């Protein structure tokens, strides 16, 4: 939705309530940036300069719903009775004890909150009133940088403090066709050469990778990360196949990236990421099936089918179906139980993968004839 529609449909009741309570409410970051670009506004991050629980409680009382507080960063997640979900943060400053670690935070003012952010284009705010969006607050020239298609950091230690900003730089530059300002690029390269991104936890690396894979077109971001020597942060053998961008979802793209790696490295890469078991397991299975080139012994999960169909577009449909031949068939046709079972099952599965058998009846006819010889 455009920014005006977002305000009318989701934010106006809360903005009016905040105004009645004397609480200054601001939209900050990406929603302000995207509004200036005339782009679709996804989520609106709101900010207050005091504890927002009073406003959240009043909103729940008036509109229904609930809210949840996250004390570490002073944020609230407000879910109104109409289903709208709104995040409200308390203005804060951040200090970093060591590079790549999560910061220590303390409450502060809007000005200091904008100063702690990653890039000037994300360090803008607009007050919200009952009438709509207020005047732009832009202390660091973010609007001018956005107009010039320039990505500029806010302070020299930006990438050393939080190297996830390097991944964000790649995403923003690719999505909005931005060029990194000279000093920003220099500091980015310095952080990479010092190995600071390698200090990130695998959880944070997974989050940044998935955010890139969720981009409409991740190719530009991946190209930049390769140019900045950042791909080894994902895995020493990580490779990005540009054709994977044509896949419809991030899970399939992740599987295709793993498939593009040398033998064994794809599984190691997936196992190194803190993925849910129901995500990791099917993708590891897809790699195994692609390497062995034989049809599966059970019905494929949807993501496995998607990965393999994308990787092998000319494979017959039968390749991705559950194996036509099973152990009961071997017994029925007189093969004694033993190690030859596995040999025959694998042989049949590979023939099915190649399309030699496109139906179960064809496979059974071959098996019966072969076992009689």
Question: 275-290 pLDDT, tens per residue?
Answer: 999 999 999 999 999 9
Q: How confident is the model at residue 3 (pLDDT cuts 50, 70, 90)?
A: low
Whether residue 338 is found in the same domain as residue 361: yes
Pairing of strands 92-95, 179-180: unpaired
Sheet of 45-48, strands arranged across: 65-70, 75-80, 85-90, 45-48, 26-28, 125-129, 132-133
Structure-token pair, residue 362? 């064809």
Whether residue 259 is found in the same domain as residue 300: yes
Q: What is the mean pLDDT of the chain?
A: 92
Whether residue 85 is found in the same domain as residue 135: yes
Name, in order, each residue with C-beta under 8 angstroms of 67's C-beta and a sequence gap of 6 or more.
Answer: 53, 56, 57, 59, 60, 76, 77, 78, 79
Q: Which of 306, 322, 338 is the last residue of a domain?
A: 322
pTM: 0.90
Whether residue 130 is found in the same domain as residue 201: no
Q: Which of 228, 250, 275 is the last residue of a domain?
A: 228
* pLDDT at 12 > cutoff 90: no
Whether residue 244 is found in the same domain as residue 295: yes
Q: Where are the alpha helices (DSSP H) in the chain?
A: 3-6, 12-21, 30-37, 53-63, 110-115, 142-147, 158-161, 164-176, 182-193, 202-213, 219-227, 231-234, 250-259, 265-272, 277-292, 302-311, 327-332, 340-354, 360-372
* pLDDT at 1 > cutoff 60: no
Q: How confident is the model at residue 301 (pLDDT cuts 50, 70, 90)?
A: very high
Q: What is the domain extent for residue 221?
A: 149-228
Whether residue 316 is found in the same domain as residue 368: no
Q: Where are the alpha helices (DSSP H) in 38-141?
A: 53-63, 110-115
Q: φ and ψ at 196, to 5 degrees?
A: -65, -40
Question: 94-112 pLDDT, tens per residue?
Answer: 888 888 888 888 889 999 9
Question: 331-372 pLDDT, tens per residue?
Answer: 898 888 777 888 999 999 999 999 999 999 999 999 989 888
Whether residue 83 is found in the same domain as residue 184: no
Whether residue 182 is found in the same domain as residue 272: no
Q: Which pLDDT score is estimated for 51?
A: 87
Whether residue 15 is found in the same domain as residue 128: yes
Pairing of strands 104-107, 85-90: unpaired
Whether residue 315 is found in the same domain as residue 278: yes
Q: If you search the block for the tokens 């969720």, which residue do you land on?
A: 214
Q: Which of 140, 174, 193 is the last residue of a domain?
A: 140
Question: 316-339 pLDDT, tens per residue?
Answer: 999 999 999 998 999 898 888 777
* pLDDT at 48 > cutoff 70: yes
C-beta atoms surrounding 53 within 10 Å = 16
Percent with pLDDT over 70 in the chain: 97
Measured CA to CA, the distance from residue 121 to residue 140 in angstroms comes to 9
Q: Give DSSP secondary structure letters for 143-206.
A: HHHHHTTEE-BSSTTHHHH-THHHHHHHHHHHHHT-EE-HHHHHHHHHHHHTTGGGGS-HHHHH
* pLDDT at 43 > cutoff 80: no
Q: Which pLDDT score is estimated for 4?
A: 67
Whether residue 306 is found in the same domain as residue 249: yes
Q: Which pLDDT score is estimated for 174?
A: 96
Q: Which pLDDT score is estimated for 86?
A: 86
Q: How confident is the model at residue 50 (pLDDT cuts 50, 70, 90)?
A: confident
27 within 8 A of 69, measured Cβ to Cβ: no
Q: Which pLDDT score is estimated for 291?
A: 92
- Domain at 102, CATH number: 3.30.460.10
Whether residue 352 is found in the same domain as residue 311: no
Q: If you search the block for the tokens 């596995």, which residue do you land on?
A: 342
Average of pLDDT values for 38-59? Answer: 87
Chain-centroid distance of CA 136 in Å reads 30
- The number of domains in the chain is 4
């Amino acid at each position: 939705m455009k920014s005006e529609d977002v305000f009318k449909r989701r934010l106006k009741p809360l903005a009016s309530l905040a105004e009645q309570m004397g609480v200054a409410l601001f939209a900050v970051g990406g929603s302000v940036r995207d509004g200036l670009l005339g782009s679709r506004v996804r989520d609106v991050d709101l900010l207050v300069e005091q504890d927002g629980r009073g406003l959240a409680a009043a909103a729940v009382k008036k509109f229904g719903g609930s809210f949840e507080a996250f004390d570490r960063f002073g944020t609230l997640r407000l879910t109104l009775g109409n289903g709208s979900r709104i995040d409200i943060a308390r203005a804060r400053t951040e200090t970093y004890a060591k590079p790549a670690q999560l910061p220590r935070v303390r409450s502060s003012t809007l000005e200091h909150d904008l100063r702690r952010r990653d890039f000037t284009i994300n360090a803008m705010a607009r007050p919200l009133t009952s009438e709509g969006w207020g005047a732009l607050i832009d202390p660091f020239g973010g609007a001018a940088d956005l107009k010039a298609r320039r990505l500029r950091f806010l302070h020299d230690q930006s990438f050393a403090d939080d190297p996830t900003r390097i991944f964000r730089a790649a995403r923003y530059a690719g999505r909005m066709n931005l060029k990194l300002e000279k000093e920003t690029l220099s500091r980015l390269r310095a952080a990479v050469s010092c190995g600071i991104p390698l200090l990130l936890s695998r959880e944070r690396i997974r989050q940044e990778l998935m955010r890139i894979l969720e981009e409409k077109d991740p190719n530009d971001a991946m190209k930049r990360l390769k140019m900045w020597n950042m791909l080894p942060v994902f895995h020493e053998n990580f490779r990005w196949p540009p054709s994977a961008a044509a896949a419809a979802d991030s899970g399939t793209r992740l599987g295709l990236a793993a498939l593009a790696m040398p033998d064994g490295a794809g599984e190691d890469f997936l196992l190194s990421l803190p993925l849910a078991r129901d995500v990791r397991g099917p993708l590891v299975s897809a790699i195994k099936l692609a390497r062995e080139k034989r049809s599966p012994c059970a019905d494929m999960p949807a993501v496995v089918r998607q990965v393999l169909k994308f990787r092998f577009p000319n494979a017959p449909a039968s390749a991705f179906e559950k194996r036509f031949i099973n152990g009961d068939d071997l017994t029925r046709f007189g093969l004694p139980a033993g190690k030859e079972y596995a040999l025959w099952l694998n042989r049949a599965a590979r023939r099915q993968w190649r399309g030699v058998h496109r139906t179960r009846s064809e496979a059974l006819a071959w098996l019966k004839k072969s076992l009689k010889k």
